[in-house]
Each structure stands twice: as structure tokens, then as C-alpha cells.
Homo-oligomer: A and B are copies of this chain.
Amino acid sequence: MAKARVIITLKKTIMDAQGQTAENALHNLGYRGVSNLRIGKVVEMELDGAPKEQLSAQLDKMCRELLANPIIEDFQFEIED
């Protein structure tokens, strides 16, 4: 059983309206030092059934097929056992 964590973020060139709104809210709360705030998704899961060395390839495929939208999002992941 391995644990995986995928981080999915909007591509840097794409506007993140949600992040912008949260950043403005933080500024209004007095946290003026915050900048470039962006909001993404994190997906955590347990993986089983494949030999460890294949997990990474499998996870990459899952991200492309379902978890992330490669047209507008980037993703990165780490697997630990």
C-alpha cells in the first residue's frame, strides 16, 4: 500500500480569479505581505495492486485522464510508501 498526493494548479498563464479574491481578502484583513496567491486542488489516495515501480506511471495517467485538465492545469505528485 502506497500513499500518493497529487497537487493540481492552474497553469501560471491562466488567471485565477478565486486566488485573486482570496488575496484581496487577506490584504483587507491586514496581511499585506501576501502576493501571487493561487488556489489549486490536492488529491490524496492510497494505491495498491501494482508493483511500486509502475505506480508512478499509473498515477501520471490518472492525472491526465481524469484528475487534472491538462489544457488549463499543471499537476505534480509524490508517492511514499
Interface residues of A (CB under 8 A from B): 7-9, 19, 22-23, 25-26, 29, 31-50, 58, 62, 65-67
8 CB-based A-B contacts, threshold 8 Å: A26-B62, A29-B62, A31-B58, A33-B47, A33-B48, A35-B46, A36-B44, A36-B45
Asked if residues B33 and A38 are in contact (CB atoms below 8 Å), the reply is no
Q: List the number of copies, as a whole number.
A: 2
Q: Which of B7, B22, B43, B48 contacts A38 (CB 8 A)?
A: B43
Q: Known contacts being A26-B62, A26-B66, A66-B25, is A38 close to B34, with CB within 8 Å?
A: no
Asked if residues A44 and B40 are in contact (CB atoms below 8 Å), the reply is yes
| Nearest-CB residue, chain B, relative to A38 | B44
